[in-house]
Amino acid sequence: MSLSQEIVVRTLLAARTKISASAWLVTRDVQAAEDIFQNLSVKALAGATPFELEAQLVSWAHITARHEALNWIRSRKGRVVCLDDVVLSLVAEEWEETPEGPRLKALRGCLDGLPRDSRQILDLRYSEERPCDEIAKTLGLGLDAVYQRLSRLHRALKQCTEQRLAT
């Protein structure tokens, strides 16, 4: 028996950030990744591919997100400079299977606790999608320092998220 529409929606929403990430790792454009997630959700709901298991649906969603993202990047930029599909498949397969809600909540809590300048650098890079050299100029830092700070922030946020999830 194939999954009902309600379960399809719930399953996709429970993995929304991860599926969008599969698209974003190709497009590196937040809006495009969101559009791709929306489009594949519509496809899933249209029922052209019936799914019997949630895991099947999620796996299909990651693959479709990557393909749609490649099409997007080809139509926009022509030349595709992105990671191999083998690598992207590996990255997608290793997402934990649990719903992402608790992780998102923990991450949001960690983001709220960040010092202002740390949050600023994340916002500049990922909300405003500014390149690192521009961020370096804005903040009066060297380019390497921006990369270092971003790297430390990602690792610190990961640690903080894991700690919150464990308690």
Partner 1 sequence: MNDALILRYLEGTATAEDVASLNELLKKDADARGLLRTAAFQALTVADLRRAQVPRRDETARWNKWPLAAAAAVLLVVAAGVIWLTRPKPELLTVVHSTGAVTWNGSTLTVEGANSAAELRLIDGSTLTLAGDSEAAFGGKRGTEISLRRGSITVEAAPQPRTQPMVLRTPTAEAEVVGTCFTISAQTGQTMVTVGSGKVRLRRLVDGASADVAEGRMAVASLDATAPLESRAFPPLVSNWSQTFDAAPPAIWQGQWVAPDAAGPGRLKNVLDVSYRRKDGTVVPAYVVSARDPSGITTIRPDSIIRVKWRLRTPSVGGLLLISVLHPDGRFAGNFQINLKAEGEGWTVFSAPVSSLAGAYPEGARLPTLGRVTLVFVACYSPKGELEVAEVRFE
Residues at the site binding partner 1, with contacts judged by CB under 8 A: 5, 9-10, 12-13, 17-18, 20-21, 24-25, 28, 30, 33, 38, 41-42, 45, 81-84, 86-87, 90-91, 94-95, 100, 103-104, 107-109, 111, 122-123, 125-127, 129, 131-132, 144, 147-148, 150-151, 154-155, 157-158
Count other C-beta atoms under 10 Å from residue 112's C-beta: 8
- Of 2, 1, 15, nearest to 47 by C-alpha is 2
Q: Which is nearer to partner 1, 111 or 139 (CB)?
A: 111
Count other C-beta atoms under 10 Å from residue 69's C-beta: 25
Q: Give the residue carrying structure tokens 């099409």.
A: 71
Q: Return the DSSP state at 27.
A: H
CB of 100 to partner 1, least distance (A): 8
Q: Which is nearer to partner 1, 21 or 57 (CB)?
A: 21
Q: Which is nearer to partner 1, 71 or 151 (CB)?
A: 151
CB of 162 to partner 1, least distance (A): 10
CA distance 163 to 135: 30
- Of 16, 26, 25, nearest to 72 by C-alpha is 26
CB of 113 to partner 1, least distance (A): 12
